[in-house]
């Protein structure tokens, strides 16, 4: 998960968000690392992690371009940047990473500054805003022949054995945030291939990666999945029936005797979809 970078007024990062982001990376990490490997970023290249959040992805990107590469992380949240400095500061790759405050609407870098740009879960159409101008701003700082990669959380199956309940929860506007009934179809994340084409990128492609999780779950995975339940469906009460809400709470509250993560055969997955293309030479 990244931090939305529309503007200062709309960003309100709390400690709970930082904790949730760190927890969810425990589950989503394998899919995100697979996406990074698929890009085949050149060793020694210099890249930008735009909307870097707490810096976990920035570190993984630095690993991908080691030993001589460098990754700059930029974010609009001072709280996220402070946490990112802590995470990366204890790593052997600390010298290969730097962080900078910045707004993705107006990145603080010259044109053609990076060999590639990476962006995860930030280009959502919050408030109906069109993310495509931000794609153009990301393209601006990529060298000709370089790569722009945009990654989104695209689906999940977290309630094994309860497909109808999960389908009804996923059908709520709460679960579909920030989409609304009047969101233009072309602004949906699964239309991001078109965003790349409109931005003039060559060889636009999309691939989807899966993060699997199964019992027995360690504490980090349990925390990640519990956070995911609340992130996705925690505000859906007014959009489902009382019976469905009671069933959600029975299955997804850690204090419940029927907490679904206690199942000895629990299995779930989350998918991430990677949209990427080349800046024309």
Distance between CA atoms of residues 50 and 41, nearest Å: 16
User: Which pair of tokens denotes residue 17?
Assistant: 């968000």
Residue 222, in any domain of the structure = no
Region 176-183: what's the mean pLDDT?
A: 81
Instruction: Output the domain CATH number for residue 129.
Output: 3.40.50.150
What span, in angstroms and rounded, lies between the C-alpha atoms of 8 and 24?
A: 24
Indicate the average pLDDT of the chain: 90
Report pLDDT for 26. 79
Distance CA 256, CA 204 (A): 46
**C-alpha to C-alpha distance for 158 and 261, rounded to whole angstroms:** 10
Mean pLDDT over residues 47-54, rounded? 95
- Higher-pLDDT residue of 27, 172: 172
Task: Give the strand order in the sheet containing 97-101.
Answer: 97-101, 70-75, 46-50, 114-120, 142-157, 267-278, 202-214
CA distance 136 to 38: 23
In a domain, 117, yes or no: yes
| Domain limits for position 58 | 8-158+185-214+268-278
Confidence (pLDDT) at 18: 62
User: Is 68 a domain residue?
Assistant: yes
Number of domains in the chain: 1
pLDDT exceeds cutoff 80 at 135:
yes
Percent share of the chain, pLDDT over 90: 77
Is the link from the previous residue into 216 a cis peptide, with omega within 30 of 0? Answer: yes
Show contacts of 175-181: CB within 8 Å, 24+ apart.
Answer: 175/232, 175/233, 175/236, 178/124, 178/125, 178/126, 178/127, 179/125, 180/128
**Look-up of token digits 């529309």:** 6
- Per the CB < 8 A criterion, the answer to whether 56 and 22 are in contact is yes
Distances (CA, A) of 206 to 36, 39, 134: 13, 11, 19
Residue 192 lies in a domain: yes
Average of per-residue pLDDT across 198-202: 96
Q: What are phi and psi of 90, to 5 degrees?
A: -90, 5
Q: What percent of the chain has pLDDT over 70?
A: 92
Q: What is the mean pLDDT of residues 201-208?
A: 96
At 225-275, the pLDDT tens digits run: 998 999 899 999 999 999 999 999 999 999 999 999 999 999 999 999 999
- Is 109 part of any domain? yes
Grade residue 125 by pLDDT with cuts at 50, 70 and 90. confident
Spacing of C-alpha 101 from chain mean position = 19
> Is 141 a member of any domain?
yes
Mean pLDDT of the 127-147 span: 94
pLDDT band per the 50, 70, 90 thresholds, residue 89: confident
82, 15 Cβ separation under 8 angstroms: no
Let me know if residue 219 belongs to a domain.
no
In a domain, 124, yes or no: yes
Residue keyed to tokens 């210099």: 46
Does 183 score more than 90 pLDDT? no
């Amino acid at each position: 998960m990244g931090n939305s970078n529309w503007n200062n007024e709309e960003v309100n990062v709390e400690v709970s968000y930082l904790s949730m982001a760190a927890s969810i990376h425990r589950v989503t990490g394998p899919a995100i690392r697979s996406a990074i490997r698929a890009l085949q970023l050149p060793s020694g290249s210099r890249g930008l992690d735009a909307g870097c959040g707490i810096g976990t992805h920035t570190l993984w990107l630095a690993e991908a371009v080691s030993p001589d590469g460098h990754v700059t992380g930029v974010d609009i949240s001072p709280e996220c940047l402070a946490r990112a400095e802590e995470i990366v500061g204890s790593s052997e790759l600390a010298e290969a990473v730097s962080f900078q405050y910045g707004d993705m609407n107006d990145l603080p870098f010259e044109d053609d500054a990076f060999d590639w740009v990476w962006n995860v879960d930030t280009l959502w159409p919050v408030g109906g805003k069109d993310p495509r101008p931000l794609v153009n701003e990301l393209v601006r700082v990529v060298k000709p022949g370089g790569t722009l990669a945009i990654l989104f959380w695209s689906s999940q199956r977290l309630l094994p054995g309860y497909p109808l309940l999960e389908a009804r929860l996923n059908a709520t506007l709460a679960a579909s945030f920030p989409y609304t009934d009047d969101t233009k179809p072309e602004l949906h994340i699964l239309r991001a291939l078109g965003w790349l084409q409109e931005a003039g990128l060559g060889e636009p492609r999309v691939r989807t990666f899966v993060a699997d999780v199964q019992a027995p779950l360690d504490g980090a995975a349990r925390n990640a999945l519990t956070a995911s339940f609340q992130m996705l469906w925690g505000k859906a009460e007014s959009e489902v029936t009382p019976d469905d809400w009671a069933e959600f709470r029975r299955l997804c509250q850690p204090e419940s005797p029927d907490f679904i993560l206690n199942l000895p055969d629990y299995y779930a997955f989350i998918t991430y979809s990677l949209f990427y293309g080349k800046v024309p030479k």
